[in-house]
Structure 1
């Protein structure tokens, strides 16, 4: 009984620490989108520049997430890497407030992406090992979806906009250093040290055979879904603040309020979607809520008033709950733990490369040529493609698989 209590206690403690960690990653990552309307004139930045800034961060995120995730699997090292990554991206976010032009901002955002990339695969691999099977989806959804929504999209917009209006956009970047250092201390204090890696069994494949992950249908499909769903997300989150101000004509405070509604939905669906998948299955949940997410950019285009738009944001911004499924939960339930961080890093990395690096740059140039409305149609298409791809996934939810088991002995028992 004491062992169960200790396990549950550490599971909850780890969830709280990693919740803050990944939430603050998105606070820093989304800061540029919220502060862009304040800094664009001073630094002479265009929509194309905004797309390229989002792209370089995503490219660095993709490369470091895949490479460091694989390296951590080989070495069995996660906690020290997590601490170093948090300190480094916090420094780079603060240094973004000292830039003098586009190139220096591009440099700091790229370095920040290198630091942020490993945090998700490292955090989710720690979380899945500490989680009870019946709440695995919920824990991973809280960590990845709700944390990013609460800190990045609910707290982030009003705090950053208030700081920018009161003290200037540079100070809004600089103050981000303080919570980053506090979170690094919490990881050092409360996350357990990595257990020594045992020597591999003779029957285990060598590390080079990790490319065999590509033979798994779920891993390949999750990677493709990551590409198109990140297109939905990165385009939406990068261009929506500017779209609301310059196209819909809303004031910065109104834009911040709408983005906070988006963030509230992020928090709600971030744990709600994975929790629903624990009950009804990963595949039907992912298909359903991908279709709902496709309606979000359409609401931004056609909602008749700020109030109606805020309501529709809460109802349709379901994508980050879906992210937890294809980027963490389904892969974690598909591959052995020895290659879990490798699989998570690869899915995230390839998705960031296509949806995070290529898509916003293309969207930025398209916006300068055809108007900002075009990016909303591109975002909608990404979510629709994700729903189609999700139809072909193999189910992995433990509760659903258990419900299917009793039928098998009965059928066998009826055979002669």
Structure 2
């Protein structure tokens, strides 16, 4: 047993539930990208929807995580945010105009904006030091398993059977149930799983966070990796469809890529414990950039397909490195949720909002394959910036 009653099993159990939370949250958010044909909207309008969702997510990440850290009520704030998100997801089914859909998605973004920051901070605080990278990877895997691998096939099937409104309502239910469970955890534990009570008096300031060298770099790296991730989510389904692949084949490709991303979420954090965060992040940023460059140069080819499946989803794991793992290892424990939210919020507005919007405009103007070049350039830039990080892996840090 570690300090403060922390145990390996408790941290792992909390990580598994946090993984479900993050997975269903991301699935409910990204599923809208599969409604384009049913709604008859183009890439620019899809980019606008994702833009407004990301704006809301940014506001939610900053405001809700600041409240959660300063009032030491992370589980309660997380549950309330997810309830709001589920309610807006349900209201989208009743929306009859594009403007109403955007408004619901904006409010939905506020509710789910705190999900990543708070789940990672809760798990980080409940984990033994040596278990934190693995548990952070488990949380990140929720997106890979539920949103990226299983989600595409299920949502395409659901749309064909019950329409986009029915599929959307189906997604609201698990988010609602998960929100209720987090609220019950909050009531039963009265703050357990959040930061220690003795640290509650120390208030978090973003000015102090921005003085940390790695924080500034992680913000930029988070922007670049999220731009790549959201370009993948918003443009890759369209890319494969326009290159002669059926909806079933497209969803299979995305699922296969998600399966590899699951392995990456376990392997990369473990490898970074031995080799260092910088080496692993830099290597896979280069491989990801190469995969998207091949999509641009050889559209729809078997070589580009294989490389996309192998490395196209690695940015999801790298975003966890910059937005959670390296971030929390660079600041005091009581700053964890606010630090993650600062990186997450900036990444959301610039990478999750402006990124997909830019990718959509590029796809409409120059063809969807050019959006793949845009994603490749982002990760190539990230590979360069990684070299300026200070190593934070336990036992390997020299300039902590």
Q: Which runs of 5+ in 1 are unaligned?
A: 406-416
Separation in 2, partners of 1:214, 1:384: 25
**How do 1:333-344 and structure 2 match up within 5 A?**
333-344=329-340
Q: 1:324 aligns with which of 317, 320, 325?
A: 320
Question: 1:213 offset after TM fit, Å?
Answer: 1.6
Q: Could you say which residue in structure 1 is the equivalent of 2:177?
A: 182
User: Is this contact kept in 1: 2:149–2:254, CA < 8 A?
Assistant: yes
Tell me if structure 2 keeps the 8 A contact 1:85–1:118. yes
Which runs of 5 or more residues in structure 2 are unaligned? none
Q: Which residue number corresponds to residue 410 of structure 1? A: none
After superposition, the Cα gap between the structure-2 partners of 1:356 and 1:199, relative to the gap in structure 1 and judged at 3 Å, is: closer
Shift of 1:2: 11
Distance 1:278 1:335 in 2: 18
Which structure is larger by alpha-carbon Rg, 1 or 2? 1
Instruction: Tell me the residue number matched to 1:53.
Output: 49
Structure 1 residues 311 and 190, CA gap change in structure 2 (3 angstroms) = farther
- Whether the aligned pair in 1 keeps the contact of 2:23 and 2:142 (CA below 8 Å) is yes
The 1-side partners of 2:14 and 2:356 are apart by: 34
CA distance in 1 between counterparts of 2:132 and 2:283 reads 20
Q: How does 1:215-254 map to 2 (within 5 A)?
A: 215-245=211-241, 247-254=242-249
Q: CA RMSD in A?
A: 2.3
| Residues 187 and 307 of structure 1, relative CA distance in 2, 3 Å threshold | farther
What SS class does the counterpart of residue 35 from structure 2 fall into? helix
Deviation at 1:20, TM superposition (A): 0.4
SS of 1:399 mapped into structure 2: coil
Shift of 1:396: 0.6
CA contact (8 A) 2:89 2:172 kept: yes
Task: Please give the per-residue CA displacement for 1:288-310, whole angstroms capped at 9, x wherever unaligned.
Answer: 11111112323433557676555
**Residues 1:378 and 2:374 are matched in the alignment:** yes
User: Do the aligned partners of 1:95 and 1:173 also contact (CA within 8 Å) in 2?
Assistant: no
1:408 corresponds in structure 2 to none
Inter-CA distance 19–306: structure 2 relative to 1 (3 Å threshold):
farther
Superposition pairs of residues 16-415 of structure 1, within 5 angstroms: 16-40=16-40, 45-144=41-140, 146-190=141-185, 192-194=189-191, 197-198=197-198, 207-208=204-205, 210-245=206-241, 247-302=242-297, 310-316=305-311, 317-401=313-397
- The whole-number CA distance in structure 2 between the counterparts of 1:256 and 1:115 is 28
1:115 CA drift (Å): 0.6
CA distance in 2: counterparts of 1:368 and 1:6, whole angstroms: 51
Q: How many residue pairs align between the two structures?
A: 393
For 2:86 and 2:266, locate their aligned partners in 1 and report how far apart those are by CA, in whole Å. Answer: 26
